[in-house]
Amino acid sequence: MKALDPAGLTGIDGLIRCEDYDRNALGEHLTELTHTVYPHAEVYGKFCTIHAHIECPPELVFSYMRDPYSLLEWTYSVRKLRPAGADGLLVGVDSGNTPIYVRTRSNEQALTVDYHCAWDQGSELWMVYLNRIVPAEIVLKRPGSVVLWTNCHHPYYDRNPFPELNQDAERAWVGDWWPLFFAGHTLELRNLKAILEHRFRRGQELGPRVVESA
Amino acid sequence: MTTVSLLGVASYLPEHVVENDFFGAAASQRKGMFGAPTTRRHVARDEQAAAMIERAAQKLVTELDLEPARDIDGIFTNVALPDQAFTGCGAEVAHRLGARPRWVLDLHNTGCVSFIYMLALARMFLQTSELRGVLLCNVQNAAGRVFSQPELAQLPQAPVPGDGCGVGYVAASAVSPLLSLVQRCNPPFAGDMQAIADDGRRYWEPGLRPIALQFTERRVAAIIERGNAVVPELVSEACRAAGVRPTELDLLVTNQPNRIFLRNWCEALELPREKHHDTFDRYGNLFGAALPINIVDALEQQKLVAGNLLGLGGFSHAGDYAAAAVLRWGAGVPRP
């Protein structure tokens, strides 16, 4: 058994632990925090996390997602990806003709696949799509995978840090769409789920099915 | 179908105002479900429910110029803690008012939402029988009768309830029409509120420990979730049935279990706080009497005026009953 060093938490304010808050006192905090409805901005304003269950084994979902060319299939508008530099950096187009740079960081043991992206330039990849794949057997006691996808509201979403790189005066900034990220990402996650389930159910190669093009 | 109107409301609040220090030093510091009102009323030891109803009803009789022997032929009551075991107080109310009711119903269920439930019953009686007018009577007296007991006053929930009486008069009329009414029974929540003593005795068994009301602890989260959701659900449903959106309500009046539910219902219906009228800070949790008392209060403060679309809503106990209604208010302001 391990016990707490009595001085270990001294000076840290605001902790809610059973030694200082009995069930009634805890109940006060819990009920104050529990609303019936929550404004969209309160839920999705700083962090946007979505999740889905996919009827496809976790290692296969991981293999598909870690291949950055799968983005050509399941994202709404990332297209024309090609190598653009060191360390797996790719460039393609997004939202019409905006250059989007992507570097994929994955960890097979943790089943994480993170897409580090940016519009217009590839030196500071600040649009980060964090994905974790969890075996559904463990968390839902059913076959398949749970995909957890989080974006954090980076300050560049509020202001384009490199406006001089923008070639299109009519273009809306990616961050202007932040209030619609829940919806937009949900649609893309549904794409991912549909593609993987369609191919897995039929015993097909999961892909991505991409061909070289000029 | 005959249109039915809530033609008037009146209230009576016991004189005895109880401050938070009565419940110990911690009372005013609590938050959440047991966040205390600033004040509440307690009934006196010998203050009978029937007498409280009489006092409120006399105001209505005067206001509406009713002849009780002629105009009140239905009396429906809901009393939190009945004056007597076994019998309800409706017949006693009739006696005190000089009414000659053909129908008396002393409701044992639907507690905090019984005003709307009785409104539904009144409409049914008025549309299908010869009844002329029904007096709806709500009494909350559990604050003084239960939570003023010295052993119970220290409980975290003790400062929340407050006593009061509200009455309404319903008749076939188009003056202040009931546009829609929905009500629901949720059987799985039926057993989650108990009157028990901490020595485990039944309330009818002799003993020294006082009886208190409490919820099944392992079900508290489910009760809170249900309470949060069910009132907005039913108010929305009543609005749909009346052909209006909840945001079109000029005023919403509900039961008032605590500030958390009031906040959450209002948020869920996207109503500005001032359109949801309550008296929680003055009177505490008035159980079933909250609805008529709050309508009276809104009228006195001119927050409810003729022509307004009035929404009513609430749930009872641990969520076993819930109801909501929409009315086009057309009745007058009761004289104090």
Residue B334 has pLDDT above 70, yes or no: no
Of the listed ranges A20-24, A192-196, B20-24, the least confidently predicted one is A20-24
Inside any domain, residue A33: no
* Higher-pLDDT residue of B254, B190: B254
Mutate to test the interface with A, among B155, B224, B235 (most CBs of A within 10 A): B224
User: Within 10 Å of residue B235's Cβ, how many Cβ atoms?
Assistant: 28
- B89 in the same domain as B58: yes
Q: Are strands A90-94 and A98-107 parallel, antiparallel or unpaired?
A: antiparallel
Express as a percent the part of chain B with pLDDT over 70. 99
Q: Which has more pLDDT, B213 or B137?
A: B137
Instruction: Tell me, yes or no, whether B94 and B147 share the same domain.
Output: yes
pLDDT value at residue B332:
61
Dump pLDDT digits (tens) for B269-296.
999 999 999 999 999 999 999 999 999 9
**Which residue from A116, A114, A153, A152 is spatially nearest to A133, judged by alpha carbons?**
A114
**Binning pLDDT at 50, 70 and 90, where does residue B182 land?**
very high
How high does pLDDT run on average in chain B?
94
pLDDT at residue A6, as a whole number: 81
Q: Give dist(CA B195, CA B85) in Å, integer.
A: 14
CATH code at position B117: 3.40.47.10
**Residue B336, pLDDT above cutoff 50:** no
All residues of chain B having their beta carbon less than 8 Å from the beta carbon of residue A40 are none
Predicted confidence at residue A100, as pLDDT, reads 97
B298: nearest Cα among B267, B321, B323, B327? B327
Q: How many domains does chain A have?
A: 1
Q: How far apart are CA B33 and CA A115, in angstroms?
A: 44
CB contact under 8 A, A28 and B34: yes
Higher pLDDT, residue A96 or B95? B95
The verdict on B34 and B148 lying in the same domain is yes
Residue A83 domain-assigned (yes or no): yes
Domain CATH number, residue A160: 3.30.530.20
- What is the spatial distance between Cα A83 and Cα A87, in angstroms, rounded to a whole number? 10
Classify residue B61: in a domain, yes or no: yes
For residue A173, is it within any domain?
Answer: yes
Q: What is the DSSP letter of A66?
A: H
pLDDT at A33: 92
Q: In angstroms, rounded to a whole number, what is the distance separating the alpha carbons of residues A195 and A197?
A: 6
Contact flag B32-A29 (C-beta cutoff 8 Å): yes
CB-CB neighbours of A163 under 10 Å: 9
Residue environment code for A26-45, b if the CB has 16+ CB neighbours within 10 A, otherwise e = ebbebbeeeebbeeeeeebe
Measured distance between the N- and C-terminal CA atoms of chain B, rounded to whole angstroms? 34
The DSSP line for A130-166 is: EEEEEEHHHHHSSSSEEEEEEEE--GGGTS-S-GGG-
* Residue A30 forms contact with B (CB below 8 Å): yes
A24 with B34: Cβ contact below 8 A: yes
The mean per-residue pLDDT over the stretch A86-107 comes to 94
Report the chain A residue with the minimal C-alpha distance to residue B228: A36
Q: What pLDDT score was predicted for residue B335? A: 43
**Looking at beta carbons, which residues of chain A come within 8 Å of B229?**
36
SS3 string, B12-30, reads ECCCCEEEHHHHCCCHHHC
List all residues 6 or more positions away from B169 whose beta carbon is below 8 Å from its beta carbon. Answer: B6, B7, B8, B9, B60, B64, B66, B72, B133, B134, B135, B136
The parent domain of residue B218 ranges over: 179-328
Chain A closest CA to B189's CA: distance in Å? 19
* Residue B185 belongs to a domain: yes
**Most confident range, picked from A47-56, A170-179, A204-213:** A47-56
Residues B147 and B241 in one domain: no
Domain region containing A118: 41-201
For residues B104 and B125, give the distance between their C-alpha atoms in angstroms, rounded to a whole number: 11
Look at residue A190 in the predicted model and tell me its pLDDT.
Answer: 98
Does position B37 have pLDDT exceeding 60, yes or no?
yes
What value does the mean pLDDT take over residues B242-252? 97
Residue B333 DSSP one-character state: P
pLDDT for B313 equals 98
Q: Which contacts qualify for A121-127: CB closer than 8 Å, 24 or more apart?
A: A121/A162, A121/A165, A122/A84, A122/A85, A122/A89, A122/A91, A124/A161, A125/A101, A126/A154, A126/A156, A126/A161, A127/A151, A127/A154, A127/A156, A127/A157, A127/A174
Secondary element (H or E) of residue A196:
helix A181-201
Q: Give the β-pairing of B17-19 and B39-41.
A: antiparallel
**In Å, what is the CA distance from B117 to each residue of A55, B23, B52?**
47, 33, 20
Domain identity same for B167 and B212: no
Q: How far is CA B51 from the centre of its chain?
A: 17
Give the burial class of B196: count Cβ atoms within 10 A of its Cβ; 0-12 exposed, 13-18 middle, 19 or more buried: middle
pLDDT value at B192 more than 90 = no
**Model confidence at B239: pLDDT above 90:** yes
Residue B334: CA count within 13 A, CB half-sphere? 27
In terms of domains, do B132 and B189 share one? no
Tokens of B293: 């008392």
Angle subtended at Cα B277 by Cα B271 and Cα B281, rounded to the nearest 5 degrees: 125
| Lowest mean pLDDT segment, chosen from A25-34, B229-238, B315-324 | A25-34
* Closest by CA position to B273, among listed B259, B263, B284, B283: B263
Residue A192 domain-assigned? yes
Distance from chain centroid for Cα A177: 16
Residue B98 confidence (pLDDT): 97
Domain C-terminal end among B143, B174, B205: B174
Are B170 and B299 within one domain?
no
The pTM of the whole model exceeds 0.90: no
The helix/strand/coil state of B315 is strand
Average pLDDT over chain A, rounded to an integer: 94
Task: Report helix, strand or coil for B1.
Answer: coil
Contact criterion met (CB < 8 Å) for B228 and A27: no
Task: Supply the pLDDT for residue B286.
Answer: 98
CB < 8 Å to B154, chain A = none
Q: Is A33 in CB contact (< 8 Å) with chain B?
A: no
For the segment A73-99, the average pLDDT, to the nearest whole number, is 94
Where would I find the beta strands (DSSP E) of chain B?
4-12, 17-19, 39-41, 74-79, 103-107, 133-140, 164-172, 178-185, 193-197, 211-215, 251-254, 276-277, 309-316, 321-328
- Inform me whether the pLDDT recorded for B33 exceeds 90: no
Q: Could you tell me if B262 and B280 are in contact, meaning their C-beta atoms sit under 8 angstroms apart? A: yes
> What tens digit of pLDDT does each residue of A53-84 get?
999 999 999 999 999 999 999 999 999 999 99
Query: Is B107 in the same domain as B222?
Result: no
**Residue A143 main-chain phi, psi, to 5 deg:** -65, 165
Q: Are residues B164 and B220 in the same domain?
A: no
Share of chain A above pLDDT 70, in %: 100
**Residue B199 has what pLDDT?**
87
Are B296 and B245 in the same domain? yes
C-alpha–C-alpha distance, residues A143 and A167, integer Å: 47
**Segment (H or E) for B52:** helix B49-63
Answer yes or no: is A119 within a domain.
yes
Average pLDDT over residues B235-244: 98
Whether B108 has its CB under 8 Å from any CB of chain A: the answer is no
Which pair of structure tokens corresponds to residue A156? 């560049």
Asked if the model's pLDDT at residue B34 lies above 70, the reply is yes
Q: Which of B58, B47, B77 is nearest to B10 (CA)?
A: B58
Q: Any bridge partners for residue A148, and if so which?
A: A51, A132
Could you report the per-residue pLDDT of B76-116, keeping only the tens digit for each?
A: 999 999 999 899 999 999 999 999 999 999 999 999 999 99
Domain count across chain B: 2
In a domain, A17, yes or no: no
Answer whether residue B215 shows pLDDT above 50: yes
